[in-house]
Amino acid sequence: MNTILKILILTLIGSGCFSAGIYYGIKESEVYLNKVMDEYTIIQEQVDAFVKVSDPESILLYVKQLNKILDDTEILHKLIETGQLSDEVLTDYLKSYDNKLEELNNRFLLLTSDVQSRVSDLSANLATDLNNNRVELESSFISESDSVKKEIGKLYDKIDELYRELEQVTAILDNAKETFLGKYIIK
């Protein structure tokens, strides 16, 4: 039995190692296959690009485009040569125009500084006038309030004097009521 058990254990260990080896081999082959597929897609893209460029129709199209660019370059060269003359005329015109603009700008700056000085003078004068008017109004108000207080004082004095006279008249009437004729006339 010992030998059967040993054979079984060895068989199990052998089959486990064999399975682990196959599993490891499959994993490594998948990694290798992924690398090969990545390289294949890169090579395929390069081959497709080369086929597209090496296609006779594409070459003819590129040649036509290059010829058109050369023709356009020649036309531009001619335009540049004729444009130099018009550029000189345009430059002279722009210089005269710049001089006129500079003159207008200088006038504008002078007018702006003149207006600013006038505005500052006016604001200073206005501030001074407002301050003077405020001081005048305050002094006038104070003097008027003093004179009104004096007049009110005089009115109170007259009211006091009238009240005293009224008391005297009341006292005289009271005395007159007590007389013989006063009892019949004043009720």
| All structural domains of the chain with their residue ranges | 1-54, 55-185
* Per-residue confidence (pLDDT) for residue 156, from 0 to 100: 87
* Per-residue confidence (pLDDT) for residue 83, from 0 to 100: 66
pTM over 0.75: no
* Per-residue confidence (pLDDT) for residue 134, from 0 to 100: 80
Helix, strand, or coil (residue 70): helix
* Per-residue confidence (pLDDT) for residue 182, from 0 to 100: 63
* Per-residue confidence (pLDDT) for residue 38, from 0 to 100: 92
Cα distance between residue 30 and residue 32, in whole Å: 5
* Per-residue confidence (pLDDT) for residue 41, from 0 to 100: 92
Cα distance between residue 127 and residue 131, in whole Å: 6
Radius of gyration of the chain (CA): 61
Q: How far apart are the first and last CA of the chain?
A: 163
pLDDT tens, position by position, for the chain (187 residues)? Answer: 788 888 888 898 989 898 888 999 889 989 999 999 999 998 888 887 777 666 677 777 778 888 888 888 887 777 777 766 666 766 777 787 778 778 888 887 888 888 788 888 888 888 888 888 787 877 777 878 888 888 888 888 898 999 998 899 888 877 777 776 666 666 5
**Token pair 């660019």: residue:** 69
Helix, strand, or coil (residue 179): coil
* Per-residue confidence (pLDDT) for residue 129, from 0 to 100: 81
Cα distance between residue 18 and residue 24, in whole Å: 10
